Amino acid sequence: MGARSIPANRPAAVPTCPSIPRLAETRLLIVCLACAGVLGLYPGQARAVVDVAQLSLEELLQVEVVSASKFRQRISQAPSAARVITAEDIRLNGWRTLSEALASLPGLYVLNDRTYDFLGARGLLIPGDYNTRFLLLVDGEPINDNVYEQALVGDEFPLDLALIERIEYVPGPGSSVYGANAMFGVINVLTRTAAALGPGQVAGRLDSEDRRAGRATLTRPLGDAGALTLSATLGRQSGNDLHYPDAAALGLPTRDGTPTPDGIAHGLDRTRNEQVYARLSQGDFSVSLIASRRERRPSSALYGGLFDDDGFRAKDTATLLAARYATRIAGDVEFSGRLSYAQMTYQGRYPYWDGARLINVEDGTGRRWAGEARLLFSRWAGHTVVAGLEFREDVAVHQQGGDLGAAPDFDVNTPDRRWGAYLQDEWVFAPDWRLNAGLRLDHSELHGNRTSPRLGLIWQARPDATLKLLAGRAYRAPNAYESAFGLATGDGSGVYLANPALRPETIETLEAVAEWRPAPGTELVASLFEYRLDDLIAQEVVAGDWQYQNLDNIRARGLEAALRRHFQAGYRLDASLALQAVELADGSRLRNSPRWIGKLALLGPVLGEALKGALELNAVGPRMHDWGGERHRFPLAPIANLALTADRLAPGLELQLRVNNLLDRSYFEPGSDDAPVPRIPGYGRVFALTVRYAF
């Protein structure tokens, strides 16, 4: 987020990134597919290495998710190609952020502009869009804020990953049960129980980027059916020097107004993180508190800020207090309800040059109440019916901007009142057939009414094979930042304009999913999808000023295929390949949309049970990106990560070494319209050491 008043006169384009020969791309793709084929599909090897007792076909079929339909169901019966990341996956891979964990899933890719992490799916990631097309939940509670509707997935995510039991990702439109923002997927982060965490834990982490973090977690039982969990995490990152090759070529101004001589930002990317988590549970009732604060002084000089100036600051705070209650009213009727209060603030301070060094200020404050009541009926043979009501009352949606020490250029508050009603039926109409049908009506005082349907036809063709045909529609209303931030009129000098006439985005998706378990411990999932996204909201220059507008309609089709293979010796192989073609209405290719994404991961023992390893290889295909009126090419950038975990050193003691970007590949991320350069430097090799002790 940011004041984002971008100078109207863009700097001249710089040379595009050097390209990697297309032969290298082909070789890498062949290697990934060959590894998956040899390790995963060769039938003789499958019989030799799979531990049948450990992972039977029946156990694979019993894996459950709760996020696809708002009730617990087998993953093979869910109306989606749902994926699950477990606490053990998080621990052994040593992921530090939610975005690192999500980047392991088929078809997802991440961009970092040195301030926030951005998540892309199915070929769509608009740099600087703040993840508004994903709905992010914690224990079923939406945590997208009510000002920017941002899903925080980087180190700004308000929860320590050690507190997570599992992450459920449900790709595709989810508005039929969740309402707005669930366009490309629903991400539900489920926290660990006190019993799973144990009496207490302490952990510390240090890495070569000079990040330091410490966590302390305590749990206590309360009576026969109650427990209390308390956890606090503190993190710091000192500043580093970072070279931006394009900054000197573009002559970016520094804090005294002179152009940077060398393109080096000195002592920046400094960060402070604080996170607090508390949960009290007693029988069917629980209440939880999540509170976080992150302050970042980035090196990327976004939003028209001065380069190499430590006066740039982006500060996010978030507080969520949520109460939940669930009970069985009768043998075939269940009730669950939730009520929450959330508050967020964003403070941006951006130094810029206008004959003298000035500070532009942006403040955003959001407060809202939200709740839901849901009934689950299973009294009719062959039917599981879910009915629910949701509401959200925006108490404050306040934004203001201007120069420090002067009266604000604008000061707006645009509260909204929303409610939604949904009904869903899972009908088993034949022994191997089920139909999942859902419909939701949402009303917003600012944006009117929206209906969101979903149909899923699921056929258990064989005990080891499931076929799904899915169709759905989802939407995203313009958030307050897009529609209300900025001046009412402009003068062509590069100011930011509000646009209250913005229309909601809508997406319609058709998808066919095949899930096959050809042998115990082996699972193959393939999804063919096609979607149409209308009225895409994006930034545009309007007579020299910047404004969000409904610009484009997008058409896309693609394939996501994933293999998971468990081996007798305790190894697990994950391989995936996503192919996608995303085009605008005029037939041109969408910017920052890779044609393919390949991933390969191997997890298992290195020295018996004494040392476990996790190796990841993520490769995002070449991308084209428009910036400053010129097109820039971003070549293939395969990144390997390695984690080694020793958890048998002493009772309760664990030591882990993680190496990000193991081969120290040099790469760049596409700059957003808010960035002063077309290329943001990626992270080089980073060593991280983590010590955990459970007592």
C-alpha 114/C-alpha 152 separation (Å) is 14
Tokens of residue 55, six digits:
């992972």
Residue recorded with tokens 């600051």: 313
588: exposed, middle or buried (C-beta count within 10 Å: 0-12, 13-18, 19+)?
exposed
134: Cα within 13 Å, side-chain hemisphere: 29
pLDDT of residue 61: 55
DSSP string, 599-664: EEEEEEESSTTS-EEEEEEEEEPPEEEEETTEEEEE----EEEEEEEEEEEETTEEEEEEEESTT-
262: exposed, middle or buried (C-beta count within 10 Å: 0-12, 13-18, 19+)?
exposed
Tokens of residue 328, six digits:
């069985």
DSSP 209: T
C-alpha 616/C-alpha 60 separation (Å) is 23
Cα dihedral across residues 381, 382, 384, 385: positive or negative = negative
Q: Which residues pair with 190 in a beta bridge?
A: 166
Of 203, 232, 200, 201, the closest CA to residue 219 belongs to: 200
Q: What angle do CA 49, 50, 54 make, to 5 degrees?
A: 135
C-alpha 648/C-alpha 634 separation (Å) is 43
C-alpha 444/C-alpha 149 separation (Å) is 15
DSSP H or E run through 60: helix 57-61
Of 105, 103, 107, the closest CA to residue 118 belongs to: 103
476: Cα within 13 Å, side-chain hemisphere: 31
pLDDT of residue 673: 84
pLDDT of residue 13: 35
**CA-to-CA dists, residue 312 to 3, 156, 269, 560, 682, angstroms:** 12, 17, 10, 40, 20
User: Residue 184, Cβ neighbours under 10 Å: how many?
Assistant: 28
Q: Which residues of the chain fall below pLDDT 50?
A: 1-58
pLDDT of residue 358: 96
CA 125 remoteness from chain centre: 11
What size, in residues, is the chain?
Answer: 695
Tokens of residue 428, six digits:
């088993």
* Domains in the chain, CATH or no CATH each: 22-342+351-694 (2.40.170.20)
Q: What is the pTM of this model?
A: 0.92
pLDDT of residue 12: 35
Question: Which conformational region is residue 208 in: left (phi greater than 0), alpha (psi within -120 to 50 degrees), or beta?
Answer: alpha
| CB contact at 8 A, 177 and 456 | no
DSSP H or E run through 378: none
E-strand ranges in 108-163 read 108-112, 117-121, 134-138, 141-142
**CA-to-CA dists, residue 631 to 133, 253, 636, 680, angstroms:** 25, 24, 16, 15
DSSP string, 262-316: S-EEEEE-EEEEEEEEEEEEETTEEEEEEEEEEEEE-SS--TTPPTT-TT-EEEE
C-alpha 124/C-alpha 372 separation (Å) is 31
pLDDT of residue 128: 79
pLDDT of residue 571: 94
**CA-to-CA dists, residue 564 to 18, 294, 515, 542, 599, angstroms:** 35, 36, 11, 49, 12
| CB contact at 8 A, 387 and 425 | no
